[in-house]
Structure 1
Amino acid sequence: MPSPHNILVVGPSWVGDMVMAQSLFITLKQRLPDCHIDVLAPAWSLPLLARMPQVRQGIAMPLGHGQFGLGARFGLGRQLRGRYDQAIVLPNSWKSGLVPFFAGIPLRTGYLGELRWGLLNDARRLDKNQLTMTVQRFVALGLPAANEQPPTYPIPQLAISAEQRRQVSDKFRIDAGKKILALCPGAEYGPAKRWPAEHFAAVANAKIGEGWQVWLFGSDKDRPVADTIVNLTGGVCRNFAGETSLAEAVDLLSLADAVISNDSGLMHVAAALDKKIVAVYGSSDPGFTPPLNPAAHILTLKLECSPCFKRDCPFGHTRCLVDLRPEQVLAALEAER
């Protein structure tokens, strides 16, 4: 195989999955120290990839999530011809295997997914009973097919420079004199993954009373719930939801002393920043997509009806989240790492 080994990874479309993909990148560099890793991914993810030292460059996918765009995929594949020895395709969709195929990359690795024989010439069958975690499934694709399963996986570690911290601090006029609690009250998947705003506010008020500052993070879609929390805390919290780029949110989170989050992309970011984190789980399974940091505190009530993996509670009560009290989160926050 040529050296250095040039690898194109077709990346996932979600923030949390992209953070977990760093475990694959680290594994590849451990196996092939001289390899170069490029990642084909949505444009929003490029700043995140830039904070992963294992990645040489991110290549923006010109199509949005769910778009087919055969002509665009063919054109991109032709542009990438002759540049790579291997492609590793993380999404399971048929269309995600087209660019490496059109690029003529000699070794194309991925799970069989949507019957991708031909598109992939190193097509592997996914045994969900052996590979129970998303990160295991990603890492296994960076290892020989005969490797013992499930594989061990390294912990993602985002690298934020002192200059990046200085720039974001200057831009947002950060007060470095008080401890910072970051709250991530959103979850893209749906309400059944979102701890109640009133509970977040109760935790925020408790920490504000101890002299902490509280910051809220999320996208434009999370602005309403973040605004609710701000109102319930008398306008004291600083609301960054919808006010930052992803890169700025990552760099700001690197300044936090502790993070409380739903099962969301920002939860995985906080874990990869080695923050003291309390992760609240409702409809999702912490065994499948946990924060990849052994020091993280995971809170879940393990009710008979959860995890249900639904966007909305099928019973209309969301007890898996409502019954998880602020006092429990505060106790986890105070526990030793």
Structure 2
Amino acid sequence: QPLLEHIAHAEGSGRCAVLADGVIADVFEAMPQRPQILRFQESHGRLQWRKRQVLARQVRSLGFSHALILPHSLKSSLIPWLAGIPYRIGYIGEHRYGLVNRRPLGRAGKAREQNMVSYYLALTSAITPSRHAASPQAPRLSVDASQIATQQARFGLHDYWVFAPGAEFGPAKQWPLEHWQALLGLIPSAQKLAILGGPRDQAFGEALAQSAKPGQTVANLCGQTTMAQAIALIAGAQLLVSNDSGLMHVAAALAKPQIAVFGSTDPMHSGPINPQAVVRWLKLDCSPCFKRHCPLTHHHCLRNISPEVLARDLSSISTTNTMLAP
């Protein structure tokens, strides 16, 4: 979103569109100034060559002069190349020489030394080298009250917290199940809870829900919502607890009170841009390693973040919100 806002400010009336996977496209739909969105349903592990050719013809017909390619993957650079867009700007990534023909200036490629927003904003230096990107604004999403009410009614939720225990990148980013279960046992029995995540998180979510205390209302919605529905449910929640994940960034963009648990990644690079965020990261000597699986096998960066610490954070957040409530 800050990248789109910068382009709109720098290029004036120039036309801009976003090519995004269906899940990510739902996030763009929730932006206050929504761009034109071209949807592409990505299948991981498959090239989908024919499908990319069809979409590339559609993109070619729109006559774009520049493409900013944010992911580092080879596949993500194919459609702009097939569409014949003259200036294809991105980081080299997976040996994309030729597919990407413009790179940002200076030391912009040092991804892990800066926040992701600044990292992506640096791509614009390949369009207007003399124009420096302004200090980025925090990403923001907007959800209508009617959408929130519709999804709350659909799933029978009100006055609830959200736990998002999944992590797409791998277990090195995921707080252990037994810690989530212990945290659930430490919060008041009367507190309603929704567990959000994708289909791959369903078993984890169910194991967490099954550990609820008698009388505690916990709804495992992993794999049962679209991204648009998940955004609306987070918008209507009192707070969110998560790992370093996409839903963490959704909560930040909605300016919700949140707790984010970091292990193998660095919150300076991918942390929530949200003044209401509490980030728990131990910054061990072995962290951040940016690995999918713990190279040392002990997972101390996550295991040593105790449920009791997060329970105190939750108590502090809920007390503050109660004091601020009208």
User: TM-score normalised by the shorter chain: which range applies?
Assistant: 0.7 to 0.9
Separation (CA, whole Å) in 2 of partners of 1:102 and 1:137: 26
Please say if 1:138 is aligned against 2:155: no
CA offset at residue 189 of structure 1? 1.8
Q: Which amino acid aligns with 1:141?
A: L
Q: Which runs of 5+ in 2 are unaligned?
A: 322-326
Which residue of 1 is the match for residue 153 of structure 2? 170
Which residue of 1 is the match for residue 324 of structure 2? none
Separation (CA, whole Å) in 2 of partners of 1:112 and 1:199: 39
Separation (CA, whole Å) in 1 of partners of 2:135 and 2:284: 29
Q: Which amino acid aligns with 2:40?
A: M
**Residue in structure 1 matching 2:197, options 211, 218, 239:** 218
**Residue in structure 2 matching 1:34, options 13, 30, 33:** 13
Separation (CA, whole Å) in 2 of partners of 1:157 and 1:61: 23
CA offset at residue 286 of structure 1? 1.4
Describe the SS at the equivalent of 2:103: strand
Separation (CA, whole Å) in 2 of partners of 1:273 and 1:185: 19
Please say if 1:325 is aligned against 2:306: yes
Please say if 1:273 is aligned against 2:254: yes
Contact 2:185/2:213 (CA < 8 Å) preserved in 1?
no
Separation (CA, whole Å) in 2 of partners of 1:59 and 1:66: 21
Describe the SS at the equivalent of 1:80: helix
Describe the SS at the equivalent of 2:242: strand
**Residue in structure 2 matching 1:78, options 35, 44, 57:** 57
Please say if 1:184 is aligned against 2:164: yes
Q: Which amino acid aligns with 1:266?
A: L
Q: Which amino acid aligns with 2:115?
A: M
Describe the SS at the equivalent of 2:210: helix
CA offset at residue 93 of structure 1? 3.1
Aligned length: 311
Please say if 1:56 is aligned against 2:39: no
Separation (CA, whole Å) in 1 of partners of 2:243 and 2:288: 14
Structural mapping, 1:208-287, within 5 Å: 208-209=188-189, 211-234=190-213, 236=216, 237-287=218-268
Q: 1:281 to 1:124 in 2, by over 3 A?
A: same
Higher alpha-carbon deviation: 191-200 or 26-35:
26-35
CA offset at residue 320 of structure 1? 1.6
Contact 1:48/1:247 (CA < 8 Å) preserved in 2?
yes
CA offset at residue 82 of structure 1? 4.2
Separation (CA, whole Å) in 2 of partners of 1:201 and 1:23: 36
Q: Which amino acid aligns with 2:294?
A: C
Describe the SS at the equivalent of 1:36: coil
Contact 1:40/1:60 (CA < 8 Å) preserved in 2?
yes
Please say if 1:109 is aligned against 2:93: no
Q: 1:304 to 1:60 in 2, by over 3 A?
A: same
Describe the SS at the equivalent of 1:141: helix
Contact 2:109/2:119 (CA < 8 Å) preserved in 1?
no
Describe the SS at the equivalent of 1:330: helix
Q: Which amino acid aligns with 2:181?
A: A
Q: Kindly, what percent of the aligned residue pairs are identical?
A: 35
Instruction: Select the structure that is richer in helix.
Output: 2
User: Given the two structures, how large is their TM-score scaled by the length of structure 2?
Assistant: 0.85
Separation (CA, whole Å) in 1 of partners of 2:95 and 2:305: 42
CA offset at residue 300 of structure 1? 0.9
Q: Which runs of 5+ in 1 are unaligned?
A: 1-21
Q: 1:295 to 1:117 in 2, by over 3 A?
A: same
CA offset at residue 217 of structure 1? 0.9
Q: 1:198 to 1:147 in 2, by over 3 A?
A: same
Describe the SS at the equivalent of 1:261: strand
Contact 1:217/1:241 (CA < 8 Å) preserved in 2?
yes
Structural mapping, 1:83-162, within 5 Å: 83=62, 84-124=64-104, 126-128=108-110, 132-143=114-125, 144-148=128-132, 152-162=135-145
Please say if 1:194 is aligned against 2:174: yes
Contact 2:240/2:256 (CA < 8 Å) preserved in 1?
yes
CA offset at residue 138 of structure 1? 1.1
Q: Which amino acid aligns with 1:122?
A: R
Describe the SS at the equivalent of 2:88: strand
Contact 1:116/1:123 (CA < 8 Å) preserved in 2?
no
CA offset at residue 116 of structure 1? 4.1
Separation (CA, whole Å) in 1 of partners of 2:199 and 2:75: 29
Q: 1:119 to 1:313 in 2, by over 3 A?
A: closer
Describe the SS at the equivalent of 2:167: coil
